[in-house]
Homo-oligomer: A and B are copies of this chain.
């Protein structure tokens, strides 16, 4: 519909389709078996087209990682601005698991994260971005929550702890195929930590501009 930028729009749409295909392949086949041929077939483009957008496999992977981080449905506590009823600490922490770590998007990212540990090139290309994301997530939590102890640094530590736990839970699923046990751990954890955190803004209730 846009007369100008048609080419550019098409390009970004193709790139997005490729990133989606990479994500799907990472989830189903893992990092090693996510080859450019397979991704091209999955995305419905030719190998040449893929290499036009992403010259190397590494470009493809880093772009997908950044796309995942950007789209991050699993950005911690993004619901901070939502209606009051959904802002209980318990519910928000459960969301970090259900909508955060226990998703295909995170599992795809996990493949890249694990590969980063042994791939210096990948690490140097994504490390900064990842730390920036981590910093942004920390700011979100600091803005949305305060510690019952009064120590504001404790919010960051506890939230990072939550992030570690849910990441570890994804791996735990390899040990235990009982979803109820996983859920039990999560419930116990929430019961343990949520008394230590309190949503901010109890004094300023009406800033959810409905525009």
Contacts and interface: CB of A to CB of B under 8 A. Distances in A.
Interface string A122-144: 01000100110110000000000
Contacts of A188: 154, 157-158, 161
Contact of A163 (B123, B130, B168): B168
Given A168-B165, A168-B166, A172-B164, A177 B131 contact: yes
By secondary structure, the A interface counts as: helix
Contact of A167 (B27, B30, B171): B171
B30 A118 contact: yes
Nearest to A101: B168
Interface string A153-189: 0100110110111111101101111000100110011
B174 A163 contact: no
Interface stretch (A50-58, A87-95, A106-114): A106-114
Contact of A164 (B32, B169, B177): B169
How many residues of A sit at the interface, in one of the four size bands?
A: 35 or more
Nearest to A111: B114
Interface in A4-45: 27-33
Contact of A185 (B28, B131, B164, B185): B164
Contacts of A164: 165, 168-169, 171-172, 185
A119 interface: yes
A167 B60 CA distance: 28
A117 interface: yes
A35 to B, nearest CB: 11
Contact of A172 (B30, B115, B160): B160
A7 to B, nearest CB: 36
Given A111-B114, A127-B177, A163-B172, 8 more contacts: A28-B118, A30-B114, A31-B32, A107-B117, A110-B171, A154-B188, A164-B171, A164-B172
